[in-house]
Amino acid sequence: MTNSKKANGLFLTMTVCIICFYLFGKGLVTGLPVSIRLISSEIVYLIPVLLCLLIGRDSIGKLIPHRAPRISTLLMTILFVLLLEPLMTCLNVFTMLFSTNYVLETRSDLSIISVPLQLICIAVVPAVLEEFMFRGVFAGYYREKGILTAALLSGLVFGLFHLNFNQFGYAFALGVAFALLLEGTGSIFYGMFAHFLINGFSVIITALSDKILPLTGEESIAAVAESMTTETLVNTFCVYAVIAAVSTCLAGAVYIWIVKHSGRTAYLEKNWKGSGEKKVSPVFLIGVVLCLGFMVWRDFWA
C-alpha cells in the first residue's frame, strides 16, 4: 500500500471517529474538567493516527523531518506568523458572514480556567499534536505526490477536521503554510512553534480583551462579535483583504528567506511536483463529503 493510500484511509477513519464523537460522545465528557474537554477531540484524532503508524510499521523519524531548530529561523518564523495574521482575520471575518463562530462560543468555558492552563490546552497541546498528525503524518504520507500537493491535501484535511465553515478557511490556509514551512526548513519544530504562536496570541488577546472591554461598557469580545452587523463585517473584510494582500506577499518573501537560510532551495525545486498518481481517491472523496455534510448540518440545520 502506498503512503498516499494510507493517508486516504486514515482520513476516512478519522472522519468517522470524530463525527461519531461529536454526535454521540460529547455527553461522555460533559462532566469532566474543562481542560480535559478542550483536548478530548485531539485524543480522538490521535488514536487512529498512532494505530495507523503502528500497523503500517512506519518510522516516525524517517516520515517526519526533525532537524534541530535554529534561533535565527525561529525569529523569522515569528515574523512569518505575524504577517499571516491579517490573512487569518480576513478569512475569519468572511466566513462569519454566513457561519457561526464556534471559537467565541467556548469563551464561557475558558473563562473559568486560568490563562496559563488555557495556553497549555489551546496553544501547547494542539501545536504539538496537530503538527505531528497533520504536517508530520498526513503531509509525510502525501509527500510522494510532491510538496505542493502534500501541502494542499494536508491543509484541506486540517481545515475539514475543524468541522465548521468558520474555522475551515483560515485552518486550511495555515495548514498549507505550516506544511510548506516544514518542507522549507526540514523540521517540524518550526511549525509547532508557529502553531503555538497563532493559538497563544489568540488566548492572550482574548484574555486581555475580557479585562479591558468591560471598562468601555462592553461585556466581552464575544458580545462585541455578536453585535457586529453584516455591514460592519463586510467593511472589516474589505479592509483586511487589502492588508492581507500585502502582508501575505511579505510572508512569502520571509518564507523564501527561511528556505534559503535553511539550505532547502534545491530540495524544494526537485520535489515541488511529485511523480505519483494524480487521480483523486474515492476514499478521500467520501471523507470530504462526510465532513462537508456534517459542516452544513452543524452550521445551518442543527
Domain that includes residue 46, residue range: 3-301
What's the pLDDT at 91? 97
What's the pLDDT at 176? 98
Residues in the chain: 302
Long-range Cβ contacts of 4-9 (<8 Å, 24+ apart): 4/141, 4/142, 4/144, 4/145, 4/276, 4/277, 4/281, 5/281, 5/283, 6/52, 6/56, 6/58, 6/141, 7/137, 7/138, 7/141, 7/142, 7/153, 8/281, 8/283, 8/284, 8/287, 9/52, 9/283
The whole-angstrom separation of Cα 171 and Cα 157 is: 9
Domain count for the chain:
1
Average pLDDT per 10 consecutive residues for the chain, totaling 302 residues: 93 95 81 84 94 94 96 98 98 92 73 88 96 98 96 98 95 98 98 98 87 68 72 95 98 98 97 77 96 94 78
The cell numbers describing 33, all together, are 474538567
pLDDT tens digit sequence for 137-186: 999 999 999 999 999 999 999 999 999 999 999 999 999 999 999 999 99
What's the pLDDT at 226? 67
What's the pLDDT at 111? 72
Q: State how far Cα 11 lies from the chain centre.
A: 15
